[in-house]
Amino acid sequence: MSTPQAAHSLPPDHFLLQPRQDYLVGAYEGHVDTSTLAAHDFDVDTRTGFMPPDPPLSRLPEQWELWETTLDAAMQAKLQLAVKPGLTTKDEQTSGSWRDHVKRLPVLPTFELVRSELLLRRAHHVLSFIMHFYIHSLPLSSPVHIPEPISVPLVAVSNHLQLPPVVTYSDNVLYNWDIIRPRDQNELGVEPPALDSLRSQDMFTGTIDEQEFYLASARIELRGVEALELMRATMDEMFVGDEIAISRITGYLHKLASIVGELKDILLDVRKGCDPSTFYHTIRPWFRGADSDPAHRKWVFEGVEEQPTDLSGPSAGQSAFIHALDVFLGLDNCNVVEGGVTPDQRTLLRRMQIYMPRHHRNFLRHLSTNPRPVRSLLAQETPDAELLDAYNSAVLSVKEFRDAHIKIVAIYIIGPAARERKEREAVDVQAEDAPKDEKIVLKGTGGTDLVRFLKGVRDKTAEAVIEPTLESTR
């Protein structure tokens, strides 16, 4: 078996290069080294954060080439969505021919993939992309039966990775990038890629719009590395706790607020390269999971005894970095709720962690068990006024980031959805009989009540600001 590319740049003791343990021991039952936030067990690189230090594997070895060529064929044929208006007979024939090819593939073994985390990640990416191409090019009148050549290896690979067998944020963003200008050998594993030198490896539409959508998140991940370092430095100072440490923490929190402000700008910059109508009608439908299926069909994985149930599509909520900000600032314990009504106040946010790489889940779990959270410094009767101001600045920067996210959702989903609905009603003679106050409930690709959830999290973030006491203002 050939050696995965980029592996040579990892430290020899990196967990990705070690023999893999039984996949049943990991995110839930396993134990991780919690001696440092930078522990290799967490797969958090000091230069690239939650993204790998070098471009992910772009092709599987020869024994799984059939998967790669099948994905190549789908992208090269520019398969069309079944929900596309004006779908031609040629479009349907092209999609049907490709799906017939998928059905005729052999069921390739996966046991050799288990030796390498890098190979498993690439296999999950390729197989889940093929599955989404297959499902979303199917006529809506057809049941969703994922053929064994895809379903069996995808479920096996997903079980080893402890990920759902569906396209996730890590498939689209974390493990789906390359660099435009190849780096010299001496740069590998030393310098992080420049934010303007990234490109995506695989796409459903092959459009610049889709690439910019992925890369906006990738740039946030990379720019967020400095925020992760500030979290680590703050936690170190928390163990000291003297006046000098408090002064340093104050500076770190102000810097953190500044960085999150930059992340907000990066998020809003997606408007420069991704057209809202193209995204909503041409790109976003490829991401849909079973809970967002337009025909409400059940996804059946043929040849799989225990049918998967976690089948939501990718979303920004699956980013461990955003969750890390919440945990570090104590926002996850400040009554963050799904739209403000869910009895279990963190159910949805925790469910999103199922879709994260298991090592990143371990990181968040470790971060949440920190015995000296930064918010505890402000629980005193007379908290340091400058520290309080710095903490509130950091919290408000996260709130403003969420404001920007809601703005992007309004531009890319709410607006196009409203226009689509008006156009549909304009040609529907029965539209006059519909209730005038009827409202469409927009679902995120992760299956959430989108607007309600985002506004609920944003508002609760704002409520996490700690009002200064009379003593702290003196």
Question: Tokens standing for 238?
Answer: 């928390």
Looking at this protein, which amino acid is placed at residue 153? P
pLDDT tens digits along 241-257: 889 999 999 999 999 99
Q: Which of 150, 162, 118, 86 is nearest to 1 (CA)?
A: 118
Let me know how long the chain is.
474
Residue 20 has pLDDT above 50, yes or no: no
For residues 28 and 163, the answer to whether their CB atoms sit within 8 Å is no
Q: Which of 444, 132, 136 is nearest to 292 (CA)?
A: 444
Give the lowest-confidence range in 144-158, 336-350, 393-407, 443-457: 336-350
pLDDT of residue 40: 57
pLDDT tens digits along 91-123: 999 999 999 999 999 999 999 999 999 999 999
Specify the 3-state DSSP secondary structure of 167.
coil
Structure-derived torsion over alpha carbons of residues 169, 170, 172, 178, reported in degrees to the nearest 10: 150
Residue 31 — φ and ψ, nearest 5°? -120, 140
The mean pLDDT value for 399-421 works out to: 94
- The verdict on whether residue 405 carries a ligand-binding annotation is yes
**What are the residue boundaries of the structural domains of the chain, listed by start?**
18-26+46-368
pLDDT of residue 190: 63
Q: How confident is the model at residue 41 (pLDDT cuts 50, 70, 90)?
A: low
